[in-house]
Chain A
Amino acid sequence: QKEVEQNSGPLSVPEGAIASLNCTYSDRVSQSFFWYRQYSGKSPELIMSIYSNGDKEDGRFTAQLNKASQYVSLLIRDSQPSDSATYLCAVNREAGNNRKLIWGLGTSLAVNP
């Protein structure tokens, strides 16, 4: 089992719909969770971080965390063609003073006009 798993997609949604991206992780002690967006040929950029169980909203984006189920998701409301990208889930693994992000392979999202 990979440490961080995501469906590779592609996930295709019509413009204006809600896109739901999911991520599961294996390390129960992880405390920090991140969603990065990566456009084709570009570098990743952080769009959401979440640390506590529940929902965190930022504009059209909502991150949801359930530590008991080891599950983190990203909802994109009113999806726009400009949201078409690969979304990377990253989980912080801590061992003493060493912290490192473990990355999923990403979910490709296509928003169709």
Chain B
Amino acid sequence: DAGVIQSPRHEVTEMGQEVTLRCKPISGHDYLFWYRQTMMRGLELLIYFNNNVPIDDSGMPEDRFSAKMPNASFSTLKIQPSEPRDSAVYFCASSFGTANEKLFFGSGTQLSVL
């Protein structure tokens, strides 16, 4: 298996633009997590899905953020409109079975909002 695949690796955009991050989890994994990482706040859980259903989205910063998982092999995280404070590394991770037992992370998307 190729592991968790994220795209794009880097995204530079201007304030106010829409940003869409994509993730393909490991085949067979039933949990998918979106994290944001910054130096000041570390890793923050934004939202997680179990069997494509959102379980906890309490970490989503505000209405500008939305996430979908239309099927078991694809998820998106959208920011609209983007702001400079959204600049961070966004990780997608997946796991199998009981949530959090072992997370497999993608390579991340480095987002810069100018």
Please state if A106 and B100 are interface contacts (CB–CB under 8 Å): no
Q: Per a CB cutoff under 8 Å, which of A34, A43, A100, A106 touches B42?
A: A106
Interface string of B50-69 (1 = CB under 8 A from A): 00000110000000000000
Please state if B42 and A46 are interface contacts (CB–CB under 8 Å): no
Q: Which A88-113 residues have a C-beta within 8 angstroms of B?
A: 88, 92, 97-101, 103-106
Question: What is the interface of chain A mostly: helix, strand, loop, or mixed?
Answer: strand
Please state if A98 and B55 are interface contacts (CB–CB under 8 Å): yes
Q: Per a CB cutoff under 8 Å, which of A32, A45, A88, A100 touches B56?
A: A100
Q: In the assembled complex, which residues on chain B have CB atoms less than 8 Å from the CB atom of A104?
A: 42
Closest to B106 in A: A43
A88 to B105, CA, bound (A): 14
Please state if A49 and B102 are interface contacts (CB–CB under 8 Å): yes
A45 to B98, CA, bound (A): 18
Chain A interface, number of residues (Cβ within 8 angstroms)? 20
Q: Is B101 an interface residue (CB 8 A)?
A: yes
Q: Is A81 an interface residue (CB 8 A)?
A: no
A101 to B99, CA, bound (A): 9
Q: Is A44 an interface residue (CB 8 A)?
A: yes
Given contacts A43-B106, A49-B101, A103-B44, 6 further A-B contacts (CB under 8 A): A32-B100, A42-B107, A43-B91, A43-B107, A99-B100, A101-B45
Please report B residues at the A interface, Cβ cutoff 8 Å. 42-45, 48, 55-56, 91, 98-103, 105-108
8 pairs of residues in contact across A and B, judged by CB atoms under 8 Å: A32-B101, A43-B107, A44-B91, A88-B43, A92-B100, A99-B99, A100-B56, A101-B45
